[in-house]
């Protein structure tokens, strides 16, 4: 899950990271008022959308005082950035920038631990730096048990800066690590961390992404979810307790268990097809869940066939078959449905399906190949 810059800044503040003050406005008049409350000096008006590169897209603008802040907010509110409409702007005091640094902590799967990345090439697209000038990024692996040690932070900071600036930066790195750990993040980033001509250090941008599996113990943050982050179908699926990711193919998938769902998608690819989605209906055979799942999948006009791949264990196959038949009755579905059910009570399930227009398949290979053939307009 992602959160907005102003929310990430709030979490950073709690750790003691120096973040300029500021408030969020939904109207130009509010933006003007905030600029006035901040002392009437120069401010930055920043679109709050869940994508990077807002600056380049024209979604971050300097304004010289409250009146200009109102005009700037008027221009930015309603703007579309990478498909997302701006409904809120952060109004924050403008800082003079002498230097821009990059600080980020991400989960590094190959090292099996978080890493701190530090660079003097801040303010720009860090992926671009990583590609064109990887030597400009200092990488510091973090022991997940010991955490980021202060000496490691100093080493990294003095690699890109010096004196008081480096010392402040080292303290911020440890605070960034504390934030990362406390909120179950898988990315926490300050780009840029700036040094002012007077030698002050400020985090003027903030980004945190979360591990969704940690959200159960982060109720405050879970409540910050902005539905604009995902396609509407994914939000609807989440609300129904389904784990769903939309893809570009033509074979809709309904599978129980995330591992089997992944394997099903792999097999579709293997036989030359393309899955239209990832969908784990979980352990339950409830017709309601199946109806919701079918409804979401068939709304995608690309879907030309649907494949059920169910392994019955504690969930009994005949229960699932009843669920599918019931769902089939309630939902008006024009595309063919292939069903593979194995495990507990599979014979009963097969008998139930024999009386329907659902296409049974005995093995996973057969089910996948049949679904691909049907999706391409072939016969069962």
Q: Where on the chain is the footprint of ligand GDP (CB under 6 A)?
A: 44, 46, 52-55, 60, 94-95, 97, 123, 191-192, 204-205
- Please list the residues that pair with 359 across neighbouring strands: 338
Calculate the alpha carbon distances from 250 to 267, 366, 370, 377 in Å: 14, 17, 13, 11
CA dihedral 95, 101, 106, 109 (to 10 degrees): 160
Q: State which residue, 124 or 245, has the beta carbon closest to ligand GDP.
A: 124
In the list Mn ion, ligand GDP, none, the entry touching 18 (Cβ below 5 to 8 angstroms by class) is none
In the list ligand GDP, Mn ion, none, the entry touching 88 (Cβ below 5 to 8 angstroms by class) is none
- Nearest CA to 52 out of 189, 160, 167 is that of 189
DSSP 324-378: HHHHHHHS---S-EEEEEEETTHHHHHHHHHTSS-EE-SSHHHHHHHHHHHHTT-
Shortest CB 311 distance to Mn ion, Å: 45
In the list Mn ion, ligand GDP, none, the entry touching 246 (Cβ below 5 to 8 angstroms by class) is none
CA distance 267 to 249: 13
Shortest CB 144 distance to Mn ion, Å: 27
Size of the site for Mn ion (CB under 5 A): 2
Q: Output the residue with the shortest Cβ distance to Mn ion.
A: 205
Q: State which residue, 205 or 234, has the beta carbon closest to ligand GDP.
A: 205
In the list Mn ion, ligand GDP, none, the entry touching 204 (Cβ below 5 to 8 angstroms by class) is ligand GDP
Q: State which residue, 114 or 192, has the beta carbon closest to ligand GDP.
A: 192
- Nearest CA to 176 out of 193, 161, 188 is that of 188
Using CB atoms within 10 A of its CB, is residue 220 exposed (0-12), middle (13-18) or buried (19+)?
exposed
CA distance 6 to 22: 8
Catalytic residue among 5, 6, 15, 102, which?
102
3-state secondary structure of 273: coil
In the list Mn ion, ligand GDP, none, the entry touching 305 (Cβ below 5 to 8 angstroms by class) is none
Q: State which residue, 44 or 267, has the beta carbon closest to ligand GDP.
A: 44
Catalytic residue among 189, 195, 234, 346, which?
189
One residue of 191, 250, 285, 315 binding Mn ion per CB under 5 A: 191
336's CB contacts (< 8 A; 6+ apart) are 305, 306, 359, 374, 380
Q: What residue spans of 203-253 are helical by DSSP H?
A: 219-222, 232-239
Shortest CB 93 distance to ligand GDP, Å: 7
CA distance 357 to 334: 11
Using rule CB under 5 A, residue 205 touches Mn ion: yes
In the list ligand GDP, Mn ion, none, the entry touching 40 (Cβ below 5 to 8 angstroms by class) is none
Q: State which residue, 206 or 368, has the beta carbon closest to Mn ion.
A: 206
Q: Output the residue with the shortest Cβ distance to ligand GDP.
A: 55
Neighbours of 369 (CB within 10 A): 19
CA distance 190 to 208: 9
Active site residue 326: no
In the list ligand GDP, Mn ion, none, the entry touching 303 (Cβ below 5 to 8 angstroms by class) is none
Active site residue 102: yes
Residue pair 190/172 in contact by the 8 Å Cβ criterion: yes
Shortest CB 44 distance to Mn ion, Å: 12
Shortest CB 139 distance to ligand GDP, Å: 21
Calculate the alpha carbon distances from 145 to 15, 71, 141, 148, 356 in Å: 19, 49, 12, 9, 56
Find the part of the chain contacting Mn ion (CB under 5 A) among 88-96, 160-168, 205-213, 348-356: 205-213
Shortest CB 97 distance to ligand GDP, Å: 5
Shortest CB 191 distance to Mn ion, Å: 4
- Positions touching Mn ion (CB under 5 A) are 191, 205
Residues annotated as part of the active site: 102, 189
């Amino acid at each position: 899950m992602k959160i907005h810059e102003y929310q990430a800044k709030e979490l950073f503040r709690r750790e003691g990271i120096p973040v300029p003050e500021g408030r969020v406005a939904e109207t130009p008049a509010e933006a003007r008022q905030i600029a006035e409350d901040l002392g009437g000096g120069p401010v930055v008006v920043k679109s709050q959308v869940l994508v990077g590169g807002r600056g380049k897209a024209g979604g971050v603008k300097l304004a010289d005082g409250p009146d200009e802040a109102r005009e700037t907010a008027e221009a930015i509110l309603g703007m579309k950035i990478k498909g997302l409409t701006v409904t809120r702007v952060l109004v924050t005091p403008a800082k003079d920038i002498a230097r821009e640094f990059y600080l980020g902590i991400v989960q590094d799967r190959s090292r099996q631990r978080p890493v701190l990345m530090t660079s003097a090439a801040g303010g720009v697209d860090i992926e671009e730096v990583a590609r064109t000038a990887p030597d400009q990024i200092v990488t510091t692996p973090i022991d997940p048990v010991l955490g980021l040690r202060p000496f490691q932070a100093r080493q990294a900071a003095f690699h890109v800066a010096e004196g008081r600036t480096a010392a402040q930066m080292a303290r911020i790195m440890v605070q960034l690590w504390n934030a990362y750990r406390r909120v179950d993040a898988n990315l926490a980033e300050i780009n840029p961390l700036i040094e002012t001509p007077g030698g002050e250090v400020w985090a003027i941008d903030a980004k945190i992404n979360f591990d969704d599996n940690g959200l159960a113990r982060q109720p405050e943050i879970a409540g910050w979810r902005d539905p604009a982050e995902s396609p509407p179908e994914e939000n609807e699926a989440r609300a129904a307790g389904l784990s769903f990711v939309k893809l570009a193919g033509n074979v809709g998938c309904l599978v129980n268990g995330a591992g089997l769902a992944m394997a099903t998608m792999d097999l579709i690819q293997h036989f030359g097809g393309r899955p239209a989605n990832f969908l784990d209906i979980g352990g339950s055979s409830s017709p309601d869940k199946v109806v919701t799942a079918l409804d979401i999948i068939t709304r995608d006009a690309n879907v030309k066939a649907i494949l059920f791949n169910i392994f019955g264990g504690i969930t009994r196959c005949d229960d699932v078959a009843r669920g599918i038949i019931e769902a089939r009755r309630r939902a008006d579905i024009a595309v063919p449905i292939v069903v593979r059910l194995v495990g507990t009570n599979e014979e009963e399930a097969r008998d139930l399906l024999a009386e329907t227009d659902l296409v049974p398949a005995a093995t996973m290979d057969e089910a996948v190949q049949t679904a691909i053939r049907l999706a391409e307009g072939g016969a069962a």
